C-alpha cells in the first residue's frame, strides 16, 4: 500500500475515519488496501503529508505489528534522492501509523495507461532516479523487495520510489512469514522464485523490468497466470524491443538470470546519468558543485511529465462517509489515482468535481419509481419520457411456451458456460448487448469507474448472457462489488423487457457476472448471477427496501455534478429540519456534531442513502428514530421530486436512511421508501 501520490484525486473522509492522526489533521483519503488506509493530512504548519494507518484487524496481529514496526525502522534508516522521507510514526499506537511527505502524481502504470511509454530525456531521468533511490536504500543496508510500477510515483519533480511494507534488512533480519512468497509476479527475481533468496540483486532485477516497462509499456515477461510468468522469469528471454540501445545494455545486465552477473544500483545510476547527460547534449562539468547536485539539475531539466490536477488541500469540517477498502493507491488500482472530482455530501462544505453525466433511471409506475437503466429501444413503443418505462417483475406470466426454458433450473454457473460464450450473433443480441453496456457505463460513470468497461457475450445453449469485466488484477473488492451490482441490474432489466416483449422467441433469461484478472485467464471469477424472471429490485410486496450493498455503493464518491448539488442541498435541509424538530421540545436531542448527516447515491437502484453518525445515542430509541425517519423521508423526497421534475436526466426517487451507532462501522438501516 503506497503512502503517497494521488493523481489529484482526494476522497472525502468516511464514517469512522479519524479527524487527527498524531499531529496531523486528516482532510481526506488517498487510498486503501489490505494493510490499511492512506489519509491526506496537514501538519500544524500546513505541510501536506500522506498518513498510513493500519487496519484494526491487522493491528491485533502480533506478527503483523512486528512487521510494521520493522517497516518504520527501515524507513527511518533510508534517506536519499528520489525517495520520500519518513516524517513521523507510532507503531505502538492502537492503530499504528506512519507519515511521509506527500508526492503528487500518478504511479508509473497509471501514467503509461494514459500517456504511453516514457521517451527521450524523461526515460533516462526515470532510469537514473529510480537507480539512485535503490542505491540509497542498499547503502542503508536495506532491501526493498517490492519494486514495481505501483510503487513508483511520477511527480512533477521526478520519480519517487515508495513503500517499504515488505522490505527487510540486508543482514537477514526480517519478520516475514516463513514459506510465504513476497513480492509481485513479474517483479520477482529468478533466485527468489527458486530459493526465496532476497538481496540487492533481486531489487536490481525488478529495476531492470521496471525500466523496460517504462520504455515500452509492455511487461518484459508478458502477462498471464502467476506460474506462467514465473517460468518466463526463470527461463525466458525478456522483451527488450523498443528499449533504446545503450539503455538496453544496462537493463539487460540488470535482468541477468544469475545474481552475480547483475549491475549494482550504484553502477546503474552512474551509467544512466551519463546516458541522461548524453541525451541533454551536455557533459557533467567540474567545479560546478557536487555530482549529486549536477545530476539533480540534469534530471530536472530533462524531466517532462504532465503536471497532475492536484488541488490545494484545505482543512474543512470533517466529512463522514462509508466504503470499503479501496484502492490502494494503484493504477486503476490504488484507489485514488484517477483524475476527476469526488463527492459525498455531509454537513460540511462541498467539493465539486468533474461532471460525468449518467444515464438515468426510469420510473416503473405513476409514483416515480425509477429503474436505473435506459429502456431497450428495440422493444415496442416507449413513452415520451424514457424514465416512465417500467421493468416487469414476472415477464413470462401467462406465457404457455416461452423460448426461455430454464426458469426452474437452479443450477449454478459452470465455467464452461462462460468459456463457450461468444460475441452477439444476431441483431437482437447485438442490440441487447449494447443496451446492457450503455446502462452499466452510465452507472459506473457516476462513481468515476468508467475504466471497468464490460464485455457482453452470449451462450445460447445455456440461455445465458455473460457480463465480463477486466482484465485488471489489482482491482479492490469494493469496485468489483459495484461492477457486479451494475452488471446484474443492467442485464436483468434488459432481459426482463426482452422476455416480456418477445416471450416466444427471445431465449435468454439468465445472466452471469464475471471478472478477469489477466487477459489469458481461462476461468474468470464469478461475481454474481440470476434470472430476469425473478424481479430486478430489492422489493417486498411492492415496497422497495434499502440494503447494505446499496449503501456501500452509495458510499463511493460521486463524480456527477447534479448528484453533488442535490446531495449537498438535501443534507443541509435534513440537518435544518432535524434541528427545528429538536427545538420544538419533543424530547429529542441534537446531534453532537454539525456534520452528523451524510448522503450518497446508489446509481444501481437509483436510490439516495442518508446516514447519521450517532455518537451519543441521539437516535437510540424507537421514538427518536421514528422522528428522524420522518424528517428524512419528507425532506429527501421533496428534493428528489423537485429535481426529477426539472431535470430529464434525473432518476433518483428512492430513499433509505441508516444509523451508525457509537463507534460501530456497520450501518443499521431504519427506513426505506419510494417517493410518490
Give the residue numbers annotated as catalytic, written as ranges.
Answer: 146
Region at 674 (left for phi over 0; alpha for psi -120 to 50; beta for the rest): beta
Q: Residue 323 CA to chain centroid, in angstroms?
A: 11
Neighbours of 239 (CB within 10 A): 16
Q: Which of 559, 143, 74 is nearest to 343 (CA)?
A: 559
Q: Which of 354, 333, 372, 339 is nearest to 34 (CA)?
A: 333
Give the C-alpha separation, 623 to 625, whole Å.
Answer: 5
Our CA angle for 431, 436, 441, nearest 5°, is 125
Q: What share of the chain is helix, strand, coil (3-state, %, to 5)?
A: 35, 15, 50
Give the C-alpha separation, 607 to 672, whole Å.
Answer: 9
Q: Which residues pair with 21 in a beta bridge?
A: 24
Q: Residue 221 CA to chain centroid, in angstroms?
A: 26
Element (H, E) at 570: helix 561-583
Give the C-alpha separation, 190 to 275, whole Å.
Answer: 28
Max Cα separation, the chain?
93
Neighbours of 520 (CB within 10 A): 11
The SS3 assignment for 241 reads coil
Q: Residue 602 CA to chain centroid, in angstroms?
A: 16
Neighbours of 463 (CB within 10 A): 21
Contacts of 163 (CB under 8 A, 6+ apart): 1, 2, 3, 146, 151
Alpha helices in 318-463 (DSSP H): 415-419, 427-445
The SS3 assignment for 142 reads strand
Place of cell 466529512: 319
E strands, 19-78, are 20-21, 24-32, 36-42, 48-54
Would you say the C-alpha torsion 185, 189, 190, 195 has a positive or negative sign?
negative
Q: Residue 574 CA to chain centroid, in angstroms?
A: 30
Please report how many Cα atoms fall inside a 13 Å half-sphere around the Cα of residue 12, on the Cβ side: 32
Give the C-alpha separation, 92 to 620, whole Å.
Answer: 34
Neighbours of 491 (CB within 10 A): 33
Neighbours of 297 (CB within 10 A): 13
What is the number of H-type helices and E-type strands within the chain? Answer: 16, 24
Neighbours of 186 (CB within 10 A): 22
Query: Could you tell me if 310 and 6 are in contact, meaning their C-beta atoms sit under 8 angstroms apart?
Result: yes
Neighbours of 242 (CB within 10 A): 13
Give the C-alpha separation, 374 to 436, whole Å.
Answer: 9
Query: Could you tell me if 607 and 654 are in contact, meaning their C-beta atoms sit under 8 angstroms apart?
Result: yes
What are the two backbone dihedrals, phi and then psi, of residue 87, each rounded to the nearest 5 degrees?
Answer: -95, -40
Amino acid at each position: 500500500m503506497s503512502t503517497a501520490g494521488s493523481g489529484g484525486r482526494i476522497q472525502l473522509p468516511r464514517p469512522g475515519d479519524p479527524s487527527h492522526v498524531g499531529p496531523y489533521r486528516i482532510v481526506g483519503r488517498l487510498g486503501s488496501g489490505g494493510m490499511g488506509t492512506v489519509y491526506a493530512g496537514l501538519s500544524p504548519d500546513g505541510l501536506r503529508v500522506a498518513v498510513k494507518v493500519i487496519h484494526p484487524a491487522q493491528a491485533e496481529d502480533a506478527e503483523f505489528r512486528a512487521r510494521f514496526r520493522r517497516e518504520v525502522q527501515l524507513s527511518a534508516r533510508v534517506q536519499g534522492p528520489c525517495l520520500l522521507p519518513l516524517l513521523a510514526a507510532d507503531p505502538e499506537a492502537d492503530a499504528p501509523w506512519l507519515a511521509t511527505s506527500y508526492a503528487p502524481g500518478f504511479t508509473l502504470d497509471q501514467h503509461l495507461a494514459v500517456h504511453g511509454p516514457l521517451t527521450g530525456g524523461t526515460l533516462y531521468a526515470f532510469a537514473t532516479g529510480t537507480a539512485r533511490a535503490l542505491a540509497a536504500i542498499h547503502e542503508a543496508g536495506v532491501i526493498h523487495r517490492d519494486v514495481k510500477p505501483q510503487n513508483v510515483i511520477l511527480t512533477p519533480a521526478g520519480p519517487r520510489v515508495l513503500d517499504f511494507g515488505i522490505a527487510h534488512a540486508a543482514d537477514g533480519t526480517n519478520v516475514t512469514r516463513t514459506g510465504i512468497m513476497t513480492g509481485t509476479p513479474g517483479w520477482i527475481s529468478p533466485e527468489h522464485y527458486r530459493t526465496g533468496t532476497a538481496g540487492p540483486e533481486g531489487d536490481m532485477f525488478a529495476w531492470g523490468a521496471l525500466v523496460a516497462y517504462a520504455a515500452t509499456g509492455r511487461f518484459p515477461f508478458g502477462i498471464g497466470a502467476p506460474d506462467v510468468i514465473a517460468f518466463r522469469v526463470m527461463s525466458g528471454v525478456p522483451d527488450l524491443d523498443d528499449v533504446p540501445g545503450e539503455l538496453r545494455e544496462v537493463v539487460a545486465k540488470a535482468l541477468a538470470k544469475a545474481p552475480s552477473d547483475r549491475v549494482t544500483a550504484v553502477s546503474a545510476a552512474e551509467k544512466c546519468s551519463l546516458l541522461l547527460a548524453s541525451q541533454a547534449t551536455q557533459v557533467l562539468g567540474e567545479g560546478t558543485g557536487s555530482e549529486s547536485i549536477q545530476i539533480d539539475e540534469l534530471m530536472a531539466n530533462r524531466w517532462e511529465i504532465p503536471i497532475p490536477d492536484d488541488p490545494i488541500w484545505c482543512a474543512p469540517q470533517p466529512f463522514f462517509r462509508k466504503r470499503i477498502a479501496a484502492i490502494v493507491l494503484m493504477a486503476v488500482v490504488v484507489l485514488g489515482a484517477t483524475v476527476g472530482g469526488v463527492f459525498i455530501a455531509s454537513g460540511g462544505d462541498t467539493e465539486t468535481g468533474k461532471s460525468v453525466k449518467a444515464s438515468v433511471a426510469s420510473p416503473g409506475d405513476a409514483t416515480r419509481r425509477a429503474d436505473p437503466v435506459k429502456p431497450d429501444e428495440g422493444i415496442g413503443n416507449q413513452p415520451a419520457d424514457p424514465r416512465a418505462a417500467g421493468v416487469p417483475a414476472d415477464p413470462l406470466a401467462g406465457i404457455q411456451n416461452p423460448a426461455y426454458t430454464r426458469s426452474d433450473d437452479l443450477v449454478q454457473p459452470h465455467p464452461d458456460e462462460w468459456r463457450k460464450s461468444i460475441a452477439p450473433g444476431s441483431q437482437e443480441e447485438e442490440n441487447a448487448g449494447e443496451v446492457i453496456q450503455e446502462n452499466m457505463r452510465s452507472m459506473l460513470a457516476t462513481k468515476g469507474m468508467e475504466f471497468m468497461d464490460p464485455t457482453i457475450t452470449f451462450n445460447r445453449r445455456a440461455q445465458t448472457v455473460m457480463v465480463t469485466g477486466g482484465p485488471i488484477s489489482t482491482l479492490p473488492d469494493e469496485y468489483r462489488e459495484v461492477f457486479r451490482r451494475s452488471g446484474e441490474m443492467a442485464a436483468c432489466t434488459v432481459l426482463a423487457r426482452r422476455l416480456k416483449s418477445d416471450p416466444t422467441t427471445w431465449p435468454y433469461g439468465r445472466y452471469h457476472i464475471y471478472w478477469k484478472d489477466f487477459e489469458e485467464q481461462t476461468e474468470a471469477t464469478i461475481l454474481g448471477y440470476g434470472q430476469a424472471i425473478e424481479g430486478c429490485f430489492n422489493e417486498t410486496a411492492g415496497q422497495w427496501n434499502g440494503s447494505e450493498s446499496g449503501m456501500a455503493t452509495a458510499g463511493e464518491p460521486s463524480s456527477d455534478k447534479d448528484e453533488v448539488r442535490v446531495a449537498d442541498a438535501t443534507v443541509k435541509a435534513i440537518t435544518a429540519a432535524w434541528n427545528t424538530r429538536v427545538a420544538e421540545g419533543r424530547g429529542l436531542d441534537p446531534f453532537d456534531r454539525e456534520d452528523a448527516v451524510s448522503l450518497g447515491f446508489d446509481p444501481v437502484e437509483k436510490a439516495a442513502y442518508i446516514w447519521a453518525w450517532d455518537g451519543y445515542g441521539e437516535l437510540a430509541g424507537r421514538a427518536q428514530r421514528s422522528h428522524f425517519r420522518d424528517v428524512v423521508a419528507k425532506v429527501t423526497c421533496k428534493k428528489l421530486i423537485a429535481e426529477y421534475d426539472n431535470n430529464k436526466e434525473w432518476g433518483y426517487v428512492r430513499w433509505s436512511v441508516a444509523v451508525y451507532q457509537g463507534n460501530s462501522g456497520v450501518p443499521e438501516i431504519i427506513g426505506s421508501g419510494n417517493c410518490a
